[in-house]
Structure 1
Amino acid sequence: MHTALKALQLKARHQVYTLLSGHNLSKLHGEGYDFSELREYQVGDDIRKINWTISAKLGRPYIKELHANRELSVVVAAFMDASLYFGSGNAKQKKLTEVATILGYAAQQNNDLFTGVHYTQKQSHATPPTKQLYHIEQFSQTLYSASVLNTTLDHNAAIQDLFKRLHKPSLLFILSDFLEEMDLSLLSQKHEVIAVILRDREEEVPKKLGEVTLSHPQDGKKMDTYFGQRSIERYLTKLKENDERLGEHFAHYDIRSVKIFTDDEAVSKLVGLFV
């Protein structure tokens, strides 16, 4: 195993067994988790249980009834392509691996079923639902070693595939940099979805570079340009528009999110989800 990957896993395990001790993953969901039935809304029902998608289709309010769950299904889905290839030492991909590994260890410590799913342009990979450290660490290694340069992921196809794969309502973490639009509404109908946004600080606070040759990570095309203040302003305008649409989408479908930068201590950001 790669020495740097082993160090990452040891750090993640130490953080889970110390800093996350007592922060149970089950705190991320409400009264129950296993889907029971849809029934028409009655006076006195909790309006937070209303399924707005079904209600809109049927023309009157319906709510989702849930069984109290006994065992939580935790799914970590990593959406990976060349947009992760940013920062010194491929930092975004390493941070994604670290976050996935922390979540896997946290599920295992809590005695919950863990499933890791990984999408790239060329392949998809999934662990079996597991409580074994072996499968979690194999998933971690797959993410760490995935070749993403010069690749483009079809996010819609990946989401459709993920929806078909996951039969049991789950606590579903989507790991991506979310620099492209992703419609998670389908997944949110069946699962509790949490978006983990992986970014490098220089993506949000870019520096003036002057005359520079830029290489597109997805197709390898090069462009000679001048990257100055005007370029930065145009870029930040588009990034702000992207993130505002993203925030509106999450709010509409009750998707929680957390942003983790490559220089963050990931576990401190994740702890906020468990309290």
Structure 2
Amino acid sequence: MDASELISKVRKIEIKAKGLSQNVFAGEYHSAFKGRGMTFSEVREYQYGDDVRDIDWNVTARSNRPYVKVYEEERELTVMLLVDVSGSQDFGAVGDSKREMMTQVAATLAFSAIENNDKVGVIFFSDKIEKFIPPKKGRKHILLVLRELLDFTPESKGTDLNRALEFLTSALKRRCTAFLISDFIDEHDYYKALSIANSKHDVIAIQVYDKREATMPNVGLMRVADAENGAERWVDTGSKHVRQAFDRWWYKRQLNMSDTLRRSRVDLASIATDEDYVKALMGMFKRRVVTH
């Protein structure tokens, strides 16, 4: 897109996202994420009532008296947006394209973060790390992030969630809140990388999908193409067996994703491209307040 069109889109998304972050998400974001991180402060002698899980066994062994670790709440967060820019994100049959929806979601989360004086960074990924924007504060930085979200062109079309998660684990030394924004169409097993990343950071999964990916319409013979590898084939959508097989594929994929996230203890918000993402995010924020 040309410069004037890009500026116009940036401005429109900024107005909407900033309004939501100030008026709708402010309390929920703060409650769901603020102060979750704890950083080590000091050690002191054990006192009656202290949690035995906080005992520093090394110091205790050296001093022959029990000592516990003391933590203090982190007053600001680092928020990382892990944004899937693979070829499948350009698909859009019902409502916005997945890429457009992901941009709106990411922008709203970014503005919510800076409203709380948090740092925001971005990892664009496909089947490789496409671009890393280190976390910073401020409106100028967020507008840079938003321009990249709207106008970034990846070098690769494939998907590998492992690459993004491993990069997050190695690149961010201090604990952060990481939103993994993807359609989760990935043939790799990413359980191990996700578990490791979530043990070090606080990872939240946001799935963006198109309802045409969940149910095949009955429109007769149709040529379909894989947006990531370019493979094409003709599919008889008029066949009940073909449509049922597609439904089973979608159900199994969703089940595998949900099971992987559950075992990794990662929260999920699932958003269709024709739905109000505000409702899904609010629901996820409120669940975190109750369960965390």
Q: For the superposition of Structure 1 and Structure 2, which TM-score range results when normalised by the shorter chain?
A: 0.7 to 0.9
What is the SS of the residue equivalent to 2:74?
coil
The alignment status of 1:186 with 2:186, answered yes or no, reads no
How many angstroms apart in 1 are the aligned matches of 2:209 and 2:70? 37
The alignment status of 1:245 with 2:253, answered yes or no, reads no
Q: What amino acid is the match of 2:190?
A: M
How many angstroms apart in 2 are the aligned matches of 1:86 and 1:33? 40
How many angstroms apart in 2 are the aligned matches of 1:123 and 1:154? 9
The alignment status of 1:136 with 2:147, answered yes or no, reads no
Q: What amino acid is the match of 2:274?
A: D
How many angstroms apart in 2 are the aligned matches of 1:46 and 1:236? 50
Which of the numbers 51, 69, 76 marks the counterpart of 2:74?
69
Which of the numbers 206, 212, 234 marks the counterpart of 1:196?
206
Look up the match of 1:146.
152
CA spacing shift, 1:36–1:160, aligned 2, 3 Å: farther
Q: Is the 8 A contact 2:123 2:131 kept in 1?
A: yes
Q: What amino acid is the match of 2:267?
A: R
In the TM superposition, what is the alpha-carbon distance from 1:111 to its structure 2 partner? Answer: 0.9
The alignment status of 1:99 with 2:110, answered yes or no, reads no
What is the SS of the residue equivalent to 1:24?
helix
Q: What amino acid is the match of 1:178?
A: F
In the TM superposition, what is the alpha-carbon distance from 1:195 to its structure 2 partner? Answer: 0.2
Q: Is the 8 A contact 1:149 1:218 kept in 2?
A: no
Deviations, residues 58-103 of structure 1 (Å, cap 9, x unaligned): xxxxxx9854222112111112201212114861000001111000
CA spacing shift, 1:221–1:24, aligned 2, 3 Å: closer
In the TM superposition, what is the alpha-carbon distance from 1:169 to its structure 2 partner? Answer: 0.5
In the TM superposition, what is the alpha-carbon distance from 1:46 to its structure 2 partner? Answer: 9.7
In the TM superposition, what is the alpha-carbon distance from 1:268 to its structure 2 partner? Answer: 2.3
What is the SS of the residue equivalent to 1:127?
strand
How many angstroms apart in 1 are the aligned matches of 2:96 and 2:216? 17
Q: Is the 8 A contact 1:194 1:256 kept in 2?
A: yes
Q: Is the 8 A contact 2:35 2:76 kept in 1?
A: no
What is the SS of the residue equivalent to 1:128?
strand
Look up the match of 1:53.
none
Q: TM-score, normalised by structure 2?
A: 0.77
Deviations, residues 168-216 of structure 1 (Å, cap 9, x unaligned): 1111110001122533112011011110000112212331221111122
Aligned length: 255
Which of the numbers 207, 221, 228 marks the counterpart of 1:211?
221
How many angstroms apart in 1 are the aligned matches of 2:10 and 2:252? 35
Q: Quick one: percent identity of the two aligned structures?
A: 25
CA spacing shift, 1:143–1:69, aligned 2, 3 Å: same
In the TM superposition, what is the alpha-carbon distance from 1:254 to its structure 2 partner? Answer: 1.4
How many angstroms apart in 1 are the aligned matches of 2:253 and 2:40? 33
Q: What amino acid is the match of 1:125?
A: K
How many angstroms apart in 2 are the aligned matches of 1:271 and 1:125? 29
Deviations, residues 212-247 of structure 1 (Å, cap 9, x unaligned): 111221122321231232222111212211211222
Look up the match of 1:260.
271
The alignment status of 1:159 with 2:165, answered yes or no, reads yes
Q: Quick check: which has more Rg, 1 or 2?
A: 2
Give the RMSD, CA atoms, in angstroms: 2.9
What is the SS of the residue equivalent to 2:134?
coil
Q: What amino acid is the match of 1:182?
A: Y
Look up the match of 1:118.
124
Structure 1 gaps of 5+ residues are: 38-42, 50-63
Look up the match of 2:62.
none
Q: What amino acid is the match of 1:68?
A: E
Q: Is the 8 A contact 1:76 1:100 kept in 2?
A: yes
CA spacing shift, 1:96–1:256, aligned 2, 3 Å: same
Structure 2 gaps of 5+ residues are: 43-48, 55-68, 287-292
Q: What amino acid is the match of 2:149?
A: L
In the TM superposition, what is the alpha-carbon distance from 1:252 to its structure 2 partner? Answer: 1.7
